[in-house]
């Protein structure tokens, strides 16, 4: 018996020595030696230290699945190790296993409820998942423990901004800056919120401070240039971008934004040389090819233009997964839920406010021009693209989803919720202009939320911007819209366009005469008649300033902000024609629905 105990002790001492040896190898960066020693240990015994070190090695080598397995094996032996469980959460985030990561962090907090680092990280996961009420609560919990934590103020501000609580978001960013005036990220976030509120001059002041603090901060230079462009100061915007190019000559985004303001032919050899090397990241290469495509298009070198734009779209399409069938299924569900019967039940629930005006449609459909015209009216404020309705949709989903996902959960929507969310939206609108009689929201993707809009605001005006389908799609294909996943492959773009038209047809059938269609080609050929139709639809008296829309000095945040500061021009009509040969995959898809405006005539002219 004594001999067996001596043998066990020797084995234990041997394993402890090997474990220390493995740890030292790991600390010194000798990962293979550390791994070999750990494997020797595990052949003798399921040793917690060896499992943990193997987890660290796999984590460091980005072998995340293996790291998860090793950490979980370790935690089976040492379930109370909060630090290891936190590290497990980080690896699960790398794998985008969000719910498992949430569980890991919550288990850490059962061990130590005041672990601020874990509270913040859990808040970050909820923010990533757009579960802003939960991220806000966690950030506030962290601030109660560390009231001077500037990082948390910045995170809290971001969640408040996303959830539509703009005033509170601004206060958070300002509080972070009062604690740390050189906090560049918080100052950039503050500038972005000010831009969204139309306070462009204040945003400029913040961005200029960022550049003073950190002259090589490319993001600040780009946002500053975009803000100048919004204000109609295109020359200054280009100067800003070109100045930063001297510091970052391989930054594709800088070339792209210059090309979208002015397609300078002299940039062609510079950007071509850049993409001929092998040092560009995927994102920089995407930006460079988009830049060249638009520059060659400006010079009417159409084959070269399309070649580069196709390469840009193809490169970016490789970076994410997307299935157009899923979009089609969402449209099917929206059509099924938002039925005539649904609105018979909810029609009396909504707000009577006529303040909101929703401008919807596809990107590059003439929506910026429409908003510029109506916002030239003395009683109309153009708020550009607002995300308040997206936030409300997310909040409704999180509130009702335990019963059903969105939109099916809308069967549980009641008068109290209608009042809460319509009030929330109106409060966001009035932040932009408290005195306006009409305020427009030009988030074009709201075409999928017309059911929600009509639930909250039965009397809201909805302007649907349309354009020749081929002109519309080719314009989208030449722009970089990362959020529009369908836009990087022609057939996928065509299928999305068909689904969009199918849903709009459904809304028109549900609300006959309540949605105003504005055809871009009609607007540019008969501006006065269509402009008067728009103002009449808004229920307002005619204002002659609407004909001089190009003199409207409001800041415009979309990619068409240069064009709307010029008198009406028609050179965007039939833009697709030089690309007819390359657009055949798109044309074949779109011709599946010959109801599309003008396609059956234009595709062969």
- Confirm if 361 and 464 have CB atoms less than 8 A apart: yes
**Largest separation between any pair of C-alpha atoms in the chain:** 105
Match 């510079």 to its residue by tokens: 270
For residue 595, the model assigns a pLDDT of: 55
Q: How many angstroms separate the CA atoms of 247 and 224, rounded?
A: 16
- Tell me how far apart the alpha carbons of residues 343 and 337 are, in angstroms, rounded to a whole number: 10
Residue 332 above 80 pLDDT? yes
Strand partners, 440: 357, 382
- pLDDT tier at 597, thresholds 50, 70, 90: very low
Within 13 Å, how many C-alpha atoms sit on residue 140's CB side?
Answer: 10
- pLDDT at position 12: 52
The confidence band for 8, taking pLDDT boundaries of 50, 70 and 90, is very low
For 80-134, the pLDDT digits (tens) are 999 999 999 999 999 999 999 999 999 999 999 999 999 999 999 999 998 888 9
User: In this structure, what token pair is assigned to residue 533?
Assistant: 């139709």
Whether 542 contacts 535, CB under 8 Å: yes
Task: Catalogue the E-assigned strands of 365-471.
Answer: 380-382, 438-441, 461-466
The tens digit of pLDDT for each residue in 34-69 reads 999 999 999 988 999 999 999 999 999 999 999 999
Six-digit token pair at 103?
């569980």
- In angstroms, the CA 566 to CA 564 distance is 5
- In the predicted model, is pLDDT for residue 14 greater than 90? no
If you average pLDDT over residues 20-30, what whole number do you get?
A: 93
Q: What is the pLDDT of residue 7?
A: 43
Helical ranges in 163-214 per DSSP H: 166-179, 184-196, 200-213
Question: What's the rounded mean pLDDT across residues 320-332?
Answer: 96
Confidence of residue 230 (pLDDT cuts 50, 70, 90): confident
Instruction: State pLDDT tens for residues 481-531.
Output: 999 999 999 999 999 999 999 999 999 999 999 999 999 999 999 999 999
How many whole angstroms separate alpha carbon 11 and alpha carbon 509? 80
Asked if residue 4 has pLDDT above 60, the reply is no
Percentage of the chain beyond pLDDT 90 is 82
> Which comes out higher in pLDDT, residue 200 or 480?
480
pLDDT score for 5: 44
Peptide bond between residue 269 and the one before it cis (omega within 30 degrees of 0): no
Segment among 33-42, 469-478, 588-597 with least mean pLDDT = 588-597
Q: What is the mean pLDDT of the chain?
A: 91
What is the average pLDDT across 357-362? 98
pLDDT tier at 279 (50, 70, 90 boundaries)?
confident
Cis-peptide into 104, omega within 30 deg: no
Give the pLDDT score at 11: 47
Per-residue pLDDT reduced to its tens digit, 421-434: 999 999 999 999 99
Q: For strand 380-382 and strand 356-361, is the pairing parallel, antiparallel, or unpaired?
A: unpaired
Distance in angstroms (rounded) separating the CA atoms of residues 193 and 191: 6
- How many other CB atoms sit within 10 Å of the CB of residue 590? 25
Q: Are 31 and 61 in contact (CB under 8 A)?
A: yes
Q: State yes or no: pLDDT of 392 exceeds 80.
A: yes
All domains in the chain, ordered by first residue: 324-602 (3.40.50.300)
Distance between CA 193 and CA 158 in Å, rounded? 9
Distance of CA 325 to the CA centre of its chain: 21
Cβ atoms of residues 483 and 577 within 8 Å: no
Whole-number Å distance between alpha carbons of 209 and 204: 9
Does residue 2 register a pLDDT over 50? no
Asked if residue 115 lies in contact with residue 109, where contact means CB atoms within 8 angstroms, the answer is yes
Confidence at residue 552, expressed as pLDDT on a 0 to 100 scale = 59
Q: Do 355 and 436 form a contact (C-beta atoms < 8 A)?
A: yes
pLDDT at 605 > cutoff 50: no
Write out pLDDT tens, residues 148-199. Answer: 999 999 999 999 998 878 889 999 999 999 999 999 999 999 999 998 888 8
* Spatial separation of the C-alpha atoms in residues 59 and 54, rounded to whole Å: 8
Amino acid 398: pLDDT: 84
Q: Is the pLDDT of residue 553 over 70?
A: no
List own/partner pairs for 335-339 with CB under 8 A and 24 or more apart: 335/502, 335/503, 335/506, 337/407, 337/408, 337/410, 337/411, 337/451, 338/407, 338/410, 338/450, 338/451, 338/506, 338/510, 339/510
HSE, CB side, 13 Å, CA atoms: give it for residue 523: 31
Q: State the Cα–Cα distance between residues 467 and 446, nearest whole angstrom.
A: 17
- Of 380 and 8, which is predicted with more confidence? 380
Task: Give the pLDDT band of residue 596 (cuts 50, 70, 90).
Answer: low
pLDDT for 565: 41
Residue count (the chain):
605
- Mean local confidence (pLDDT), 307-312: 98
How confident is the model at residue 557, as a pLDDT?
45
Cβ atoms of 579 and 474 within 8 Å: the answer is yes
- Check whether 10 has a pLDDT greater than 50: no
pLDDT for 549 = 75
Residue 547 has pLDDT above 80, yes or no: yes
Whether 385 has a pLDDT exceeding 50, the answer reads yes
pLDDT of residue 550: 74
Measured CA to CA in angstroms, residue 536 lies from 183, 377, 481, 516, 541 at distances of 48, 12, 33, 11, 7
Burial annotation 142-170 (CB, 10 A radius, 16+ → b, else e): bbeeeeebbbbbbbbbbbbbbbbbbeebb
Decide: 534 and 518 in contact? Cβ < 8 Å: yes
Q: Is 281 helix (H, G, I), strand (E, B) or coil?
A: coil
């Amino acid at each position: 018996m004594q001999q067996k105990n001596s043998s066990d002790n020797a084995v234990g001492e041997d394993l402890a020595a090997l474990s220390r040896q493995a740890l030292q190898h790991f600390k010194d960066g000798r990962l293979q030696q550390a791994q070999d020693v750990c494997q020797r240990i595990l052949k003798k015994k399921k040793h917690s230290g060896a499992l943990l070190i193997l987890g660290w090695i796999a984590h460091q080598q980005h072998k995340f699945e293996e790291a998860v397995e090793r950490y979980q094996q370790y935690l089976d032996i040492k379930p109370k190790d909060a630090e290891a469980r936190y590290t497990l959460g980080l690896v699960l985030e790398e794998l985008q296993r969000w719910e498992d990561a949430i569980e890991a962090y919550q288990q850490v907090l059962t061990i130590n409820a005041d672990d601020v680092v874990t509270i913040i990280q859990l808040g970050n996961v909820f923010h990533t998942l757009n579960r802003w009420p939960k991220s806000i609560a966690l950030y506030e919990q962290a601030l109660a423990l560390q009231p001077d934590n500037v990082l948390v103020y910045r995170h809290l501000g971001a969640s408040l901004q996303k959830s539509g609580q703009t005033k509170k978001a601004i206060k958070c960013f300002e509080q972070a800056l009062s604690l740390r005036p050189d906090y560049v990220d918080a100052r950039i976030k503050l500038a972005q919120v000010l831009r969204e509120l139309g306070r462009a001059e204040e945003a400029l002041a913040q961005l200029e401070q960022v550049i003073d603090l950190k002259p090589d901060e490319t993001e600040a230079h780009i946002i500053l240039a975009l803000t100048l462009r919004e204000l109609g100061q295109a020359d200054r915007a280009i100067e800003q971008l070109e100045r930063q190019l001297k510091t970052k000559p391989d930054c594709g985004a800088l070339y792209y934004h210059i090309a979208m303001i002015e397609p300078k032919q002299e940039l062609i050899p510079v950007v071509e040389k850049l993409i001929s090397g092998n040092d560009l990241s995927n994102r920089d290469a995407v930006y460079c090819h988009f830049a060249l495509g638009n520059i060659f298009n400006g010079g009417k070198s159409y084959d070269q233009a399309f070649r580069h734009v196709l390469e840009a779209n193809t490169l970016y399409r490789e970076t994410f997964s997307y299935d157009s069938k899923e979009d089609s299924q969402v449209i099917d569900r929206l059509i099924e839920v938002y039925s005539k019967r649904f609105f018979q039940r909810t029609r009396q629930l909504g707000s009577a406010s006529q303040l909101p005006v929703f401008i919807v449609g596809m990107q590059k459909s003439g929506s910026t021009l429409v908003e510029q015209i109506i916002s030239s009216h003395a009683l109309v404020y153009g708020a550009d693209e607002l995300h308040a309705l997206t936030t409300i949709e997310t909040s409704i989903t999180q509130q009702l989803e335990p019963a059903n996902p969105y939109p099916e959960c809308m069967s549980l929507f009641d008068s109290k919720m209608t009042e809460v969310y319509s009030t929330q939206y109106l409060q966001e609108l009035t932040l932009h202009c408290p005195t306006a009689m009409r305020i427009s929201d030009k988030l074009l993707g709201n075409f999928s939320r017309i059911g929600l809009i009509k639930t909250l605001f039965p009397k809201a005006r909805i302007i649907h911007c349309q354009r020749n389908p081929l002109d519309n799609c080719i314009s989208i294909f030449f722009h970089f819209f990362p959020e529009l996943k369908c836009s990087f492959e022609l057939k996928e773009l065509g299928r999305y366009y068909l689904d969009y038209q199918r849903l709009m047809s459904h809304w028109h059938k549900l609300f006959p005469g309540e949605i105003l269609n504005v055809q871009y080609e009609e607007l540019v050929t008969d501006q006065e008649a269509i402009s008067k139709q728009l103002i009449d639809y808004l229920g307002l008296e005619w204002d002659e300033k609407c004909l001089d829309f190009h003199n409207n000095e409001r800041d415009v945040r979309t990619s068409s902000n240069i064009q709307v500061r010029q008198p009406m021009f028609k050179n965007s009509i039939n833009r697709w024609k030089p690309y007819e040969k390359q657009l055949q995959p798109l044309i074949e898809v779109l011709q599946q629905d010959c109801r599309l405006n003008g396609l059956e005539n234009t595709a062969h002219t």
